A and B are shown apart, each in its own frame.
Chain A
Amino acid sequence: MVSEAVAEVARPRTTDLREERVWRVLRSVMDPEIPVVSVVDLGIVRYVRCAEGQLRVGITPTYSGCPATEVIQRSIHNALARHGMKDVIVETVLSPPWSSDWLSEEGRRKLEAFGICPPVARGAKVTCPRCGSHDAECLSEFGSTPCKAHYRCSDCLEPFDVFKCI
């Protein structure tokens, strides 16, 4: 699912100690709506860069109007400040637009364990996170947050969320 180009950005391969420390802190910053996946799992951290002593973190919004974006930006600031990194610039990157393909493998596993079916390619079957059935119907492509669709399992009849493909 994770394309190579993305894996390269999402996975820190730096020897710079400050950048490495930032990545470590970012792995502890959770999405406010889905508190089991970190911003790194979500694939919204585009880079951590240190140029001329200035650290910069680039994050990309999942959806243009996602209200969590600003909360996430603040959480990143606060988390870094708690670790003594007060002067990091957190900036928004729009291009290339975020894709659900950028979710890490670990992020997909965490979603499933949390009761949210990870994104599946269009036309492929979703899996009910409660009973494992592949027999489910889409109630709405717009769920409780912009990034999720609403399904109902036809076997156990429980409703569940599916992380949308975008």
Chain B
Amino acid sequence: MTSAASAPEARSPSAESRFQYVLRLADTSLVLGQRLGEWVGHAPALEEDLALANIALDLIGQARLLLGYAGEIEGRGRDEDALAFLRDAPEFRNASLAEQPNGDFGQTIVRQCLIDAWQLELYEALSGSSDARLAEVAAKTVKETRYHLRFSTGWLVRLGDGTAESHARAQQALDALWRFTDELITPDALDEEMAAAGIGPSLTALRPRWEQRIAAVLEEATLKRPAASRYPWQGKRGVHTEHLGHMLGEMQHLARTFPGATW
């Protein structure tokens, strides 16, 4: 919390930098929310179906607030819908982990837990942002993210420490997704610029807290933390895996086929 607030007055970042930074936050929530929405009607039990839909709603709600704000910063008249539905994959700034396919329930839970723990640290820090709009969205988001993390943690422990089958699948998902986590906790120039201006948290300071949370969950879930891997994907800079384009094809289909459609 102090990391974002305590930074001294620095050169104020350009509108373009701030726009890109808010897009990173917004797009990660939007893309993850859309992925969770794909579970509706397909989850293993009714309770999980409702939970995933509820979490998706929170994430999309957060994305709407952030995209609306991003559009205002950009100042070119693009609203939340224009930004969500009329940008192509390379213009999206979400973390690559969020766009990875749902896979089985175990893979969805692993992805969710890794991101929930990160979003909780991120938004707790952002509640003290020098950017008042981001701070108020963050304060609301933190309350919701605590519920998300309890859900994904609870399930990850049950799957990891469950049957031989559920353990093997959870470990497999963790091994497959771990390479995308480096991006979450390694700052690039934009993250550093925002941290220096007191707008965003220092990811270097956030990293050990996220690692600690994840280590504790993995231990309880009897899962092994995979070896560190520096995967080249940089979704936050617009370099995505092939999965995002396919996902957007479905998400944007209606808005692009019938421009301006309402109901």
Residue ranges of A at the interface with B (Cβ–Cβ < 8 Å):
61, 63-67, 94-98, 139-144, 146, 150, 164, 166
Which one of B50-58, B72-80, B244-252 contacts A?
B50-58
Residues on A with beta carbons closer than 8 Å to the beta carbon of B147 = 141-142, 164, 166
**Distance A98 CA – B136 CA, assembled complex (angstroms):** 11
Residue ranges of B at the interface with A (Cβ–Cβ < 8 Å):
33, 47-48, 50-51, 53-62, 64-65, 135-137, 139-141, 143-144, 147, 150-151
Q: If A141-B150, A146-B54, A166-B143 touch, does A65 touch B62 (CB 8 Å cutoff)?
A: yes
Q: If A65-B57, A96-B139, A97-B139 touch, does A142 touch B62 (CB 8 Å cutoff)?
A: no
Once the chains bind, are A66 and B140 in contact (CB under 8 Å)? no
Once the chains bind, are A140 and B50 in contact (CB under 8 Å)? yes
Residues on B with beta carbons closer than 8 Å to the beta carbon of A164 = 147
Residues on B with beta carbons closer than 8 Å to the beta carbon of A61 = 61, 140
Q: If A63-B58, A64-B61, A66-B61 touch, does A94 touch B47 (CB 8 Å cutoff)?
A: no
- Nearest Cβ in chain A — how far from B151, in angstroms? 6
Q: If A140-B50, A142-B50, A144-B50 touch, does A65 touch B59 (CB 8 Å cutoff)?
A: yes
Report whether over half of chain B's contact residues are helix, strand or loop; otherwise say mixed.
helix
Residues on B with beta carbons closer than 8 Å to the beta carbon of A97 = 136, 139-140, 143
- Nearest Cβ in chain B — how far from A92, in angstroms? 9
Report whether over half of chain A's contact residues are helix, strand or loop; otherwise say mixed.
loop
Q: If A61-B61, A150-B47 touch, does A142 touch B139 (CB 8 Å cutoff)?
A: no
Identify the closest chain B residue to A164 (Cβ): B147
Q: A95-B140, A142-B151, A144-B50 are in contact. List 11 more A-B contacts (CB 8 A).
A: A61-B140, A63-B144, A64-B57, A65-B58, A94-B136, A94-B137, A94-B139, A95-B139, A97-B143, A142-B55, A142-B147
**Distance A95 CA – B136 CA, assembled complex (angstroms):** 5
**Distance A150 CA – B51 CA, assembled complex (angstroms):** 10
Identify the closest chain A residue to B33 (Cβ): A65
Residues on B with beta carbons closer than 8 Å to the beta carbon of A150 = 47, 50
Once the chains bind, are B50 and A143 in contact (CB under 8 Å)? yes
Residues on A with beta carbons closer than 8 Å to the beta carbon of B151 = 141-142
Sample (12) of A-B pairs whose CB atoms are under 8 Å apart? A63-B61, A63-B144, A64-B65, A64-B140, A65-B33, A65-B61, A95-B136, A97-B136, A140-B47, A142-B55, A150-B50, A166-B143
- Nearest Cβ in chain A — how far from B57, in angstroms? 3
Residues on B with beta carbons closer than 8 Å to the beta carbon of A146 = 54, 57-58
**Distance A95 CA – B141 CA, assembled complex (angstroms):** 11
